[in-house]
Each structure stands twice: as C-alpha cells, then as structure tokens.
C-alpha cells in the first residue's frame, strides 16, 4: 500500500529545514510537496530573478536558492535543479562551506523527485561529508533522513531503517519535536508497509501523532490518518480505512494542498474499489486523477490510470480500460528509473574521492595541493565519462525493452477485446437457436444444427491461437457459419459463395476477419427485412491482390441502426476490425484495406450493404 514519508529540503542559510511528503509503495511512488518557507517573502519568480541580476554574490546565491524552491513548489524540477546548481557554483566561489552542503542536499532532493536515485545518493553523501567536517548535527540529521527515504524507495528497507535511526539519535539530542515526529512516521511506514509488522507501525505512528497534535500540526495529523487508513486497508478492514481517509481528506481540504487532497481521494478510491463498489471508486479516482494531472503529479497519475484500467476491465468497459492502460504505460515509461542499484557503489567511491579532496585542502603546501587535485580531477573525470557511457547504453537498452513490452501489452489487450466481442456473441446466439428448436419439439432440426455447430466450434478452436490460416480453411469455416445462420433463421435468406482463386490453400488470411460483417449482414440486414433476402460472398484473386466482398440486399445500415439503438455490436465490429488491420500492418507488415458501402435502390431507399476487404499478396 501507499504511505507517506517525510523528506527535507534545506532553507536558505537558516537552521530550519523544510518538509516535503512523499507517498511510498513497494511498486510505485507518488510525490507530495509541503509549502516552502524561507527568510525571503514568497515573491514572484521573475521579480526574484531581476533582484539577482545586480546582487552581490552572497545575496545572489540565496536568491537563486529561493527561486529554486519556488519552482520546486510548482513541480518545475528541471528549472529548480538549474537554480540550485547556480547557487552551488556561487557558494563554491565564495567558499561558503555550509551553503555548499545545503545545495548538495537540495540537488539530492530534486534528483530523488525525478527518480535519479543514484545521483540523489551521490549528492546527499557529498552534503553529509561537509556537514561531518563542520560538525553540523542539524544538517547531518536531515541528510541521513533523506538517504533513508531514497533507500526505502529502492526497496532496501533494512538500509533505510539504519539511516532513520541514525537521524533519530541526532534529532533527540537536539530535541526538535517536529523533526523527531517525521522520522517516527518514516520508521512506522517500513514496519507496516514493508515488514507487515502492524504492532510496531502503530507504536511509531502513535508517537508521531502525539507530537503533531501537541504542536498543532494539522497537516501532518492528516498524513498519519492516511497512513493508518492504509494499514487497515491492507488488513481488509475497509470501513475503518475509509473512516481514516475521510478524516485525512477533511484536514487536507482545510490546509488546501491539492497534492494532499489528491492522495486522500485516491485512497478512498482504493478502499471502494477493494469492496467492488465501482461507482464510488470511479468517482474518487476521477477526482484524484484530475488534481494529479493539473499539478503534474506524474507518479500518482500513473497508478490512478492503472487502477482505473483495472476497474473498467472488471466492469467490462474494455474501451476505457484500454485508454487508461495506454495513459498509464505512457506515464510509467517517462518515470522509469534508468539507473541500476549497483552503480551506487561506484558513486560511493566517487564520494570518497570528493572527501579526500576536502582533506587535501588542509595541506600546507600549495604545490602539493595543486598536484593532488589534478590527479583526483583526472580520476573523477575518467569515472564520470565511464558512468556517462554506461548510462547511455543502459538508457537505450531499457528504452528498447520497455517499448517492445508496451507494444506486446497493448496487442494482448486488444486481442482479448476482439475475442470477447466476436466468438462469445456467435456461440450465445447458436445455443439459443438449439434451445428454440428443442422447445418447438423439432428434435431432428436441433440435432442437425448441433452437429454443424460442433464442427464449426472445433474449426474455430483450432484457429484460436493462429494469426493466419489458409484461405480454403477460412472459406470452409465461413460456409459452415452461414449454413448454421440460414438454418437458424428458417430460410429467411439465400446465399452464394463465389471463389475465384486459383490456389486458396496457398494463401494466408487472418481468421474470422470477415465473420463479424457476415453476421451483421444476416442479423441486422437480412433478418429484419420483410422479404426473403440474398447474401453474396466473393473471394477473388486479381493483379496480385485478394478481394473479399460481403454484399446483402437487406434493410441497410441506416435502418439497422434505428432498430438497434441500444446495441453497440454494429459499430464495435468495425472498430475491432480496424484495430486488427492496424495491428497486422504493424506486426506482420500485411497491407489490408476495408471499405463499407451503403447500397440504394432507384428511389434512393436503403437496399443493403457491401463490405470489401483488399489484401496485397506476397
């Protein structure tokens, strides 16, 4: 399940730290940002940029940091990272060690937000190294807490707990209650969400809740309510879970943070979804999705789309399921982590190199200092080049792998949609016909129909997992199908099969491609007609092209749509077939075209329908 952890962003040159809250799950992560505080007013970004133009370096450094925090608040992470980097460069130029440490920490937060965990760890460790050198306990505790969060997101809970307890020890020494509560919350999340140790989770949540209530921190009380709701949701205690989520939502609406409101709405959607209350679940999912889309909370939006796709699939709405799944896959691919955990060890080595560089600065002789710095610079450059090359290779491989996987998932879902709308439809109608014959005591006709039906079903089952079959087999199946339909409709129509193909056994054709249109012609065109109709089916090979034509003289599509206002099968057959043609063109390079013509008599009255497929032969 999802739970909320506390993450710190350094504030200017003050001793306080800024909270950001993050939703954590063993599969996905959704981010929340707490309002930023600083010594500067929350001014307009353009105004701050103008102030920075002529400011002296120390103030310019702080202004770029402030601009970065405002952009962070608006989820403009790329711009925030750029301004934190500018602030870092100025801090280096004026030798402000404390500010260098804070900027490395802020850059670590941004990299964590965008999923670059290895770079996040790298910058946090550089920050930690400077705080240790300065013996700055407040800075150390915030970075230790943030490193714990990153390891938790990387599914390394034991390592995360180790850093949380290190941070907690320092926080208790300072007696900073809000910070202590945040770490209790983080520890509770791992016990409840990862180790399934609910007793320990309740214990640490209770400690955090007491502190937040004592200091009047309503928002974080709401966060605890959300996390307690998730524990009850995991235990299957749905009503208790909903109660906690409603309490959290009430608080978040008062604090007016759209990210928090979206999280509570999403949790309520999960709760209703888990008890199969699909209408209520969809209502909350939709509200949460709208907020997450408005505020660019990509990771939450990805999971909402995934759960909405599951909900639509469970309710039989495969079209909306496919649309949500595509959106989920698109966002997921944008967020996928392109770095491997093993690279952390390489970056930890780089951290040691940086640490030694700080020690070198303490050397007395300037010549020795320059020589050693040059040596380490070459080593670091080689390491960075190596990492860069490996990163490019990994990005390309992961991109290709995920693109292929996404295509296969879409193809599988679309194939399922096709099968669910064709074969079951025909089987149901056929069984109903057999039942009708039996009820009318027409045992002989029912027996004849049942034998032919069994032959047809066997033929269909033999084709189930095949993308192409020979044309002669396809014609045989269609003849069996039309024969059954003619028997079912009591000779309501006559039909003809014209095969003008020299060697149909040598031509490969997609199975059941024409069947939905033959079925539509019979059921919606010929059956409702007042007179006996005629169905013509043509297979013709000409100029290295195969033509398949289905023509009826029934009531026409316009009249059929009027008679079948509440049925979607007519339009759905066309939509599914177009999707199949598109998939075959993409996957097998098969060029197939489809054309549907409405036929009219001399008085421009509907007189039937003609469907024509054309397929290039290899």
Average pLDDT of the segment spanning 596-610: 91
pLDDT recorded at residue 367: 56
pLDDT confidence bin for 533, thresholds 50/70/90: very high
**What's the confidence (pLDDT) of residue 41?**
44
548 domain-assigned: yes
575: left (phi over 0), alpha (psi -120 to 50) or beta: alpha
- How many domains does the chain fold into? 2
Structure tokens at 237: 């205690």
Q: Are 609 and 557 in contact (CB under 8 A)?
A: yes
Looking up residue 57, the CATH number of its domain turns out to be 1.25.40.10
Contact indicator for 20, 7 with CB cutoff of 8 Å = yes
Strand ranges in 94-147 using DSSP code E only, listed in sequence order: none
Per the structure, the complete domain to which residue 484 belongs is given by: 422-616
Residue 596 located in a structural domain: yes
Report yes or no on 59 lying in a domain. yes
Domain end residue (candidates: 93, 126, 156): 156
Instruction: Pick the range with the lowest mean pLDDT from 67-81, 373-387, 466-480.
Output: 373-387
Which pLDDT belongs to residue 342? 38
Q: What angle do CA 414, 404, 335 make, to 5 degrees?
A: 100
pLDDT digits (tens, 9 = 90+) for 167-206: 999 989 888 888 899 889 889 989 987 888 888 998 999 9
Helix axes 218-234, 258-274, angle to 10 degrees: 20
Instruction: Assess whether pLDDT exceeds 90 at residue 108.
Output: yes
Query: Helical H runs in 175-277?
Result: 177-189, 198-215, 218-234, 238-255, 258-274
Residue 55 has pLDDT above 80, yes or no: yes
Q: What pLDDT is stored for residue 14 in this prediction?
A: 25
Q: What percent of the chain is predicted at pLDDT more than 90?
A: 42
Residues in contact with 225: Cβ distance below 8 Å, sequence separation at least 6, in sequence order:
244, 245, 247, 248, 251
In a domain, 404, yes or no: no
| Residues 412-437 pLDDT 10s | 545 544 454 445 656 676 777 777 76
The pLDDT value recorded for residue 73 is 80
Residue 408 lies in a domain: no
Rounded to 10°, the helix 137-153/117-134 angle is 160
- Give the other-Cβ count within 10 Å of 374's Cβ: 10
Q: What is the pLDDT of residue 54?
A: 86
Q: Does residue 561 lie within any of the structural domains?
A: yes
Q: How much is the pTM?
A: 0.44
pLDDT digits (tens, 9 = 90+) for 392-411: 898 888 888 877 765 665 55
Q: Which of 121, 156, 191 is the last residue of a domain?
A: 156
The mean pLDDT of 568-591, rounded to a whole number, is 76
Q: Residue 4 pLDDT more than 60?
A: no
Top pLDDT among 354 and 539 is at 539
**pLDDT at position 441, please?**
64
Check residues 110 and 358 and name the one with the higher pLDDT: 110
Q: What is the CATH number of the domain that holds 532?
A: 3.30.565.10
CA–CA separation, 570 and 444 (whole Å): 33
Quick one: pLDDT at residue 244?
94
SS3 161: helix
- The answer on pLDDT for 510 being more than 70 is yes
Q: DSSP letter at 468?
A: -
Question: In this predicted model, which residue has the larger pLDDT, 442 or 276?
Answer: 276
Among 105, 137, 156, which residue terminates a domain?
156
Q: What's the pLDDT score for residue 192? A: 85
Confidence (pLDDT) at 372: 72
Q: State how far the Cα of 491 lies from the Cα of 522, in Å rounded to an integer.
A: 11
pLDDT for the residue numbered 338 = 40
Q: Indicate the pLDDT class of residue 362, thresholds 50, 70 and 90.
A: low
pLDDT above 70: residue 567:
no
Instruction: Supply 372's token pair.
Output: 């050693």
What share of the chain has pLDDT > 70, as a percent? 81
330 in any annotated domain: no
Q: Is the pLDDT of residue 439 over 60?
A: yes
pLDDT in tens, 303-345: 999 999 999 999 999 999 999 999 999 888 887 754 444 344 4
pLDDT the model gives residue 403 = 74
In a domain, 583, yes or no: yes
- 441 φψ region: left (φ > 0), alpha (ψ -120 to 50), beta (else): left
d(CA 65, CA 59): 10
More confident residue, 124 or 21: 124
Segment 196-251, tens digit of pLDDT:
888 899 899 999 999 999 988 888 999 999 999 999 998 899 999 999 999 999 99
């Amino acid at each position: 399940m999802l739970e909320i952890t506390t993450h710190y962003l350094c504030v200017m040159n003050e001793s306080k730290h800024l909270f950001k809250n993050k939703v954590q799950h063993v599969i996905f992560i959704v981010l929340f940002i707490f309002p930023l505080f600083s010594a500067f007013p929350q001014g307009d970004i353009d105004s701050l940029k103008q102030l920075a133009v002529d400011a002296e370096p120390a103030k310019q450094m702080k202004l770029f940091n402030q601009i970065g925090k405002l952009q962070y608040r608006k989820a403009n992470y790329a711009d925030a990272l750029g301004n934190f980097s500018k602030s870092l460069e100025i801090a280096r130029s004026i030798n402000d060690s404390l500010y260098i440490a804070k900027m490395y920490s802020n850059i670590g937060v941004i990299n964590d937000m965008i999923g670059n965990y290895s770079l996040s760890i790298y910058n946090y460790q550089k920050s930690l190294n400077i705080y240790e050198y300065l013996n700055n306990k407040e800075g150390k505790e915030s970075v230790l807490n943030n490193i714990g969060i990153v390891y938790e997101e990387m599914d390394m809970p034991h390592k995360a707990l180790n850093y949380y307890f290190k941070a907690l020890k320092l926080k208790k020494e300072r007696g900073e209650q809000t910070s202590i509560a945040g770490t209790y919350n983080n520890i509770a999340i791992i016990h409840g969400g990862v180790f399934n140790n609910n007793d320990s989770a309740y214990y640490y949540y209770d400690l955090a809740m007491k502190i937040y209530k004592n200091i009047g921190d309503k928002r974080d009380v709401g966060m605890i309510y959300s996390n307690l709701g998730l524990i009850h949701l995991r235990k299957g205690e749905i009503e208790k879970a909903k109660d906690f989520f409603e309490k959290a939502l009430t608080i978040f609406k008062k604090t007016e943070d759209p990210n928090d409101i979206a999280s509570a709405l999403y949790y309520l959607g999960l709760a209703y979804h888990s008890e199969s209350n699909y209408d209520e679940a969809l209502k909350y999912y939709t509200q949460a999705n709208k907020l997450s889309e408005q505020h660019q909370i990509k990771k939450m939006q990805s999971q909402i789309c995934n759960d909405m796709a599951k909900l639509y699939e469970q309710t039989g709405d495969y079209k909306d399921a496919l649309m949500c799944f595509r959106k989920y896959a698109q966002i997921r691919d944008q967020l996928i982590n392109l770095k491997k955990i093993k690279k952390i060890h390489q970056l930890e080595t780089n951290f040691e190199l940086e640490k030694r560089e700080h020690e070198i600065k303490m050397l007395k002789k300037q010549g020795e200092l320059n020589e050693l710095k040059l040596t380490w610079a070459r080593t670091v450059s080689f390491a960075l080049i190596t990492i860069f090359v490996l990163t490019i290779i990994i990005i390309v491989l992961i991109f290709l792998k995920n693109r292929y996987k996404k295509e296969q998932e879409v193809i599988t879902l679309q194939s399922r949609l096709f099968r669910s709308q064709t074969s079951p439809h025909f089987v149901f109608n056929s069984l109903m016909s057999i039942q009708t014959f039996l009820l009318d005591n027409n045992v002989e006709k029912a027996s004849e129909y049942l034998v032919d039906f069994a032959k047809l079903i066997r033929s269909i089952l033999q084709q189930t997992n095949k993308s192409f079959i020979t044309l002669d087999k396809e014609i045989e199946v269609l003849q069996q199908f039309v024969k059954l339909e003619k028997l079912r409709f009591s000779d309501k129509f006559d039909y003809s099969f014209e095969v003008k193909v020299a060697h149909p056994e040598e031509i490969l054709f997609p199975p059941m491609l024409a069947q939905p249109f033959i079925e539509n012609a019979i059921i919606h065109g010929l059956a409702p007609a007042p007179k006996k109709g005629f169905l013509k089916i043509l297979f013709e090979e000409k100029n290295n092209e195969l033509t398949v034509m289905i023509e009826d003289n029934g009531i026409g599509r316009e009249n059929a749509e009027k008679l079948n206002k509440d049925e979607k099968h007519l339009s759905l057959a066309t939509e599914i077939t177009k999707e199949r043609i598109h998939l075959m063109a993409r996957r097998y390079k098969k060029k197939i075209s489809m054309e549907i013509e409405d036929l009219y008599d001399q008085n421009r009255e509907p007189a039937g329908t003609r469907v024509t497929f054309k397929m290039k032969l290899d």
